[in-house]
Structure 1
Amino acid sequence: MIPDQEMPAGRVRGFLALARNVLANSDERARARRASLIALTLRVGNAVLAYGTQVVLARLMGQFEYGIFAFTWVWLLVFGAISTLGFGDSPVRYVAALRETGEEDQLRGFLRFAGIVSFAAPVVFAVLFALGVYFAGSWIENAYVYPLLLMAVAMPFGCFQAYLEDVGRAYFWTIPALFPVYILRHALILVYMVAAVALGFEASAVTAFACTILAMATATVWQSYQILGRLRKTVPAGPRAYRPKEWFIGSAPFAVLQGMFHLFAYMAVIVLSFFVSPAQIGIYFAATRIVQVVAFIPYAASVGSAHLFSASHAAGDQARLTTLTREVSLVTFVASTGVTILVVTTGMWLLQLFGDGFETGYNVLLILSVGMVARAIFGPAEDILNMTGFSHLSATTYVVMVVINGVLNVALIIPFGITGAAIATTLALTIRSVWLAWAVRQRLGLDTSIVGAWALLAETVGRWRKGKAAKPAQ
């Protein structure tokens, strides 16, 4: 028998051994776990930094100008996602699949082709958008015109960063891929904005977007140096093969998917702009900035697992795909629930930091938190569909859900204001999560929900108990 007093020490040694295994092993799953851990760390750092940046911007600009900035920022996300034509998001699928199948010529061709499209297409789109704003100026409220024009200038930088991020994720270069986007960019926006106000520039949405352009340009240069430099060392020189038609067809759903994702996520802000003042939009947006930390959990899991879903499916390894699905579902649910509790507990205090009047958004924060947990319950269904050739289904679902979300927002914002917007968003998010999980079960026979993941937990606990019972006999 092992003395009771030795049990805690044994557990500590076991935990340290597990930690060494995750940190030192070079197998695929260990690398994926490290990538997810690094991504989660960076996104938590991003949450803290982005929150601090938003607090400073809100306090400098006030509710009205902050509301204008928030509204314009939403459109930057939407149009930035669409204008890459999907090549800012498809590398995580194609690079993993082409490496798995050993198609080096296709890999070299795709990397160059996707990089060119990811910058050139947004430049064209930005010019067209700016012309549209210019000629439609009489129908747009004056306060929004110049921020929207500056937003068009920022668009190509953000789009090329999305391409570099996905390439880095596909190669497990997690820090060079994510740090410039989620840490450096926000830090520079904060530094540039504070410096601009200190130099005498007006604390307005126009100034904030000018600072955003400078921050994005700086971060893009650094990220390009890191990712493109590593690619030259990693991908051997050789001939390039191009399949533009196939890549356009395969990438297009990602453009729809990401554009609809941002439209879906920020539909409330867009609809609110027709019914409430920019000050109310600012309060709602502040609540979403706090709740977004919960959304970082699924994102971090996606960084470490999305390309593995693609590789497992390409190899026809259903057992590997099932195990990976269960692991991601379980970890995502547990982490998301814990972070949600923390957000709800500290939410009032965090809102008050934005300035006077922002605490009225606490009900919004509570309602949106329910939606985040509902999303976690049904697991990584969207990632699995996107990485296994069913991205068109995800894209179609988003289009339908954007319409439903818009209808719900109009119906609930008119009588309930920003609280109605939160209810509409949570209802739409829950419906979408249920539908995607059902679609994965129907097409791939996988249960992405926490119910399916529970089998993995029960199996793991069973092995632990069996090992514990066997120790005295040994």
Structure 2
Amino acid sequence: MKYGRTSIVNFLSQLAMSVSGFVATIVLTRTLGQDQYGTYIVVLSVLSWVAIAGEFGLPQAIRKRVSEGNNGNYVVAGAVTQFALYGIVAISLWIARPYLNDFMNIDATWILVVMLAVRLALVFVQTVLDGQHLVHVSSLLSPVEWTSRSIVQIVLVLTGFGIAGAFTGYVVGAVVAVAIGAYFVTIPNKPPSRQEFYRLKSYAQFSWLSSIKGRTFLSMDTIILAIFVSHSLIAVYEIAWNLASLFAIFGASISRTLFPEMSKLSSEKESDQVAGLLRVSLAYAGLFIIPGLVGAALVGDVVLTVYGSGFETGYYVLLVLTFARLLYGYMDQFLSTINALDHPELTFHINAVFVAVNLTLNLVLTWQFGWYGAAAATTLSAGIGLLLGYHYANRVVNVDLPAGEIAKQCLSAGTMAVVVFVARVTVGDSLPIVIVLIGIGAAVYFSVLLALSREFRTTVENNLPFRLPVFSSE
């Protein structure tokens, strides 16, 4: 199997998703305004936290058990369990709707229940496909969802439906993706036994905190910010976060691609091969986000203006959040490997510390320093999680840090920085010029990296469907 090709498919799918989301976000921010867009973001943040209760670690358990390939019917067992969890959470939301509506500053609990249903369904389908080693298929569902969502949102918002159009687009996009993904899911013929339910539960009882950890990193700051700052500032913060997340797509794609392979190798007691895949994931986790951080420092202030007046104030927050994403990307490789080796109890410990530190720091630092405090809290907790991830991963597998490859990526990004900085000072910094500079910077980065790193050249050559002249002398 060509892991690189699968990762590239996942990456390009996520990139396409980000592009469609980028266009829709510009329309939403410019049409709805910062306040209404901020309200939309708060609702999505609440949905994300509610979804954790609706999943309770089940997606991670399904992906792990299905990927082991032991002929159990974890698909139906997982679907039954998921439906039951959704019912409990949906009823709880309806009971708590007065408080939820007050917090969100909009009467949206009913749409929250609908959005939760389609979100859980999409996550379930993608998880099963990942477990069945169809990552290249599940990867395509996200851009399908986001493209469908974006088209509907743009049409409805521009025709006067306002924030209701944004919510409708979210639901429609998920439904389209679920319908397509379900076609590729293979359902075992035999009914699930009690053993399948038990093995899902035995993994989920530890992995549920992983969902909280992930959501804590992604939106704890947004929830806390909703207490201390206006929705307009939350809109700017979220845009900065989205740009930072764009650079982290490739690292997440690698983790998602290699997990089922690591899991299968682990069940076959091939720990040395798992260690090799971990090194590969660490070597390429920063491939895009390292130059992304440098690029954000060089032209991030101009890029933010595309969202409208006032968004450039998020420049420094963008830099801090991008660095947080860099740390978290490496942390995620370690935790994914530990989970693949069937040690969810170890990631449970890491996640518990991460959540506690992140929550505490977000409350204290946001209270004292506003959105800069929220960004700093996210970064500090990611750094602590990275250290813990390395420590525990080293206990279950021989960790070989690819320091040389990471150093070459940093050097290439530094060369790119010099070229882009000189060009910006010389030519100017209007938005069209900056877009061209981004392309030039990317070309310089990858050209220098190809020249410096034999490992990178070999990886590129092995995963291309054709041979390029640049590799002919190798």
**TM interval, short-chain normalised:** 0.7 to 0.9
The 5 A counterparts of 1:64-79 are 64-79=35-50
Q: What TM-score results when the alignment is normalised by the length of structure 1?
A: 0.80
Cα distance change on mapping 1:262 and 1:191 into 2, 3 Å: same
SS at match of 1:89: helix
Supply the distance in 1 between the matched residues of 2:34 and 2:74 (Cα, whole angstroms).
45
Cα distance change on mapping 1:64 and 1:449 into 2, 3 Å: farther
For structure 2, the residue ranges without an aligned partner over 5 or more in a row are 410-451, 459-472
The answer to whether the 8 Å contact 1:307/1:387 transfers is yes
Regions of 4+ moved over 4 Å: 376-379, 452-455, 457-461
Supply the distance in 1 between the matched residues of 2:242 and 2:406 (Cα, whole angstroms).
31
Supply the distance in 2 between the matched residues of 1:459 and 1:357 (Cα, whole angstroms).
41
Cα distance change on mapping 1:329 and 1:188 into 2, 3 Å: same
Identity of aligned residues (%): 18
> Offset at 1:283?
0.8
Supply the distance in 2 between the matched residues of 1:119 and 1:350 (Cα, whole angstroms).
42
Cα distance change on mapping 1:215 and 1:339 into 2, 3 Å: same
> Offset at 1:406?
2.0
Query: Which of 150, 161, 184 is residue 227 of structure 1 equivalent to?
Result: 184
Cα distance change on mapping 1:185 and 1:266 into 2, 3 Å: same
Q: Tell which deviates more after alignment, 347-356 or 37-46.
A: 347-356
Query: Which of 153, 156, 166 is residue 196 of structure 1 equivalent to?
Result: 156
- 1:170 pairs with 2:131: yes
| AA at the equivalent of 1:281 | I
> Offset at 1:147?
3.0
| AA at the equivalent of 1:286 | I
| AA at the equivalent of 2:313 | T
The answer to whether the 8 Å contact 1:64/1:282 transfers is yes
The answer to whether the 8 Å contact 2:152/2:165 transfers is no
Query: Which of 383, 386, 400 is residue 433 of structure 1 equivalent to?
Result: 386
Cα distance change on mapping 1:395 and 1:190 into 2, 3 Å: same
Query: Which residue is equivalent to 1:90?
Result: 61
> Offset at 1:292?
0.5
Supply the distance in 2 between the matched residues of 1:445 and 1:137 (Cα, whole angstroms).
45
Supply the distance in 2 between the matched residues of 1:401 and 1:375 (Cα, whole angstroms).
11
Q: Tell which deviates more after alignment, 307-316 or 209-218.
A: 209-218
The answer to whether the 8 Å contact 2:7/2:257 transfers is yes
Which structure has the higher relative contact order (CA within 8 Å, separation 6+)? Answer: 1
Query: Which residue is equivalent to 1:13?
Result: none
Query: Which residue is equivalent to 1:131?
Result: 95
Cα distance change on mapping 1:247 and 1:378 into 2, 3 Å: closer
The answer to whether the 8 Å contact 2:13/2:143 transfers is yes
SS at match of 1:219: helix
> Offset at 1:460?
6.8
Q: Tell which deviates more after alignment, 431-440 or 260-269.
A: 260-269
Q: Tell which deviates more after alignment, 286-295 or 397-406.
A: 397-406
> Offset at 1:327?
1.1
Query: Which residue is equivalent to 2:175?
Result: 217
Query: Which of 390, 396, 402 is residue 349 of structure 2 equivalent to?
Result: 396
- 1:93-115 residue CA offsets vs partner (Å, 9 max, x unmatched): 11121x2xxx32x2xx2111112
Cα distance change on mapping 1:452 and 1:84 into 2, 3 Å: farther
> Offset at 1:239?
6.0
> Offset at 1:86?
2.3
Query: Which of 97, 100, 118 is residue 157 of structure 1 equivalent to?
Result: 118
| AA at the equivalent of 1:251 | A
> Offset at 1:198?
4.2
Q: Tell which deviates more after alignment, 154-163 or 74-83.
A: 74-83
Cα distance change on mapping 1:453 and 1:119 into 2, 3 Å: farther
